[in-house]
Amino acid sequence: MERPAWAPPGIDISVPSVSRMYDFYLGGSHNFEVDREAARKAMEFMPGLPKIMQANRAFMRRAVRFAVDNGITQFLDIGSGIPTFGNVHEVAQAACPEARVVYVDHDPVAVAHSRAVLEGNDHATVLSADLRKPQQILSSPEVTSFLDLDRPVALLLVAVLHFLEDEDEPQAAVAELLDALAPGSLVILTHASYEGIPLTEEQAGGTVAVYRNIRNPLVMRSHTEIARFFDGCELVEPGLVSMPRWRPDVPLEEEDPYAFSGFAGVGRKA
């Protein structure tokens, strides 16, 4: 198997990674054949997967601009994946050059590529850590030296919580992270759901099975279950809605039907 020059040493390129599959859906080049194969298999059941990922990214950019417009200039992006055009630091720093961003991911390719992209950017850094271990993130030198947790922070959990199973206690992890943040902080999240997908649950289940087979279970949660991640926060208008419906900047009728799969929301910590 050909190992690309940019692949960090020591990583197993025979196992698909969800962040590299995401990169493939978005048209990126930091993925291996094993990732492309799994992604293509998932798309056999749900051909609109790239549209869903694009809707995720578009929502994230609108939410980051919303945060800056509301005076928040610190961003903690967990499950940040492989940086592509229009990432958090680009959007935030275009609006406020002093904005600070800490990216967190546990995929070595995502971390290595983020380091390369961020070279020379004094206001952004990357940390290798896992959402399931919030204290590891909060006590890391990257977070403690880059972010002032006594001031509001925007916590991004975009397309990541659905890779945590219930036994991983994702709600407890989010609560622990929020607990460490100052009042007025925002939580920005998207989550996969069977609700809104223009397919039957059985058809969409084929894609879910692909992720389960690569040992990265994709956990579809209901609107009610996803809303619980915002406990202790006040949802910003228009609430927890499909991604294109959150403060849209293009007419909804121009959106692909797949873009309405799953939910997005922004909560403000009281």
Q: Which residues pair with 103 in a beta bridge?
A: 77, 126
What is the token pair recorded at 212? 């389960």
Interval 183-206: pLDDT, tens = 999 999 999 999 999 999 999 999
The arithmetic mean of pLDDT across residues 118-123, rounded, is 96
Of 2-6, 88-92, 130-134, 167-171, give the lowest mean pLDDT range.
Answer: 2-6
What's the CA gap between 196 and 193, in Å, rounded?
7
What is 44-57 written as a DSSP string?
HH-TTHHHHHHHHH
What is the token pair recorded at 57? 């990214």
Of 5-14, 67-76, 101-110, 203-212, give the lowest mean pLDDT range.
Answer: 5-14
**pLDDT higher than threshold 70 for residue 79:** yes
Domain boundaries, the chain: 53-197+221-269
Instruction: Return the pLDDT at 85.
Output: 82
Of 24-33, 143-152, 178-187, give the lowest mean pLDDT range.
Answer: 24-33
The arithmetic mean of pLDDT across residues 141-146, rounded, is 96
Instruction: Return the pLDDT at 2.
Output: 67
Closest CA to 16 of 2, 46, 36, 44: 36
Report whether 44 contacts 71 (CB < 8 A). no
Give CA 206 to chain center in angstroms.
22
**pLDDT higher than threshold 70 for residue 116:** yes
Q: What pTM, to 2 d.p., does this model score? A: 0.95
- CATH top-level class for 53-197+221-269? alpha beta
252 to 196, 199, 248: CA distances (angstroms):
14, 19, 7
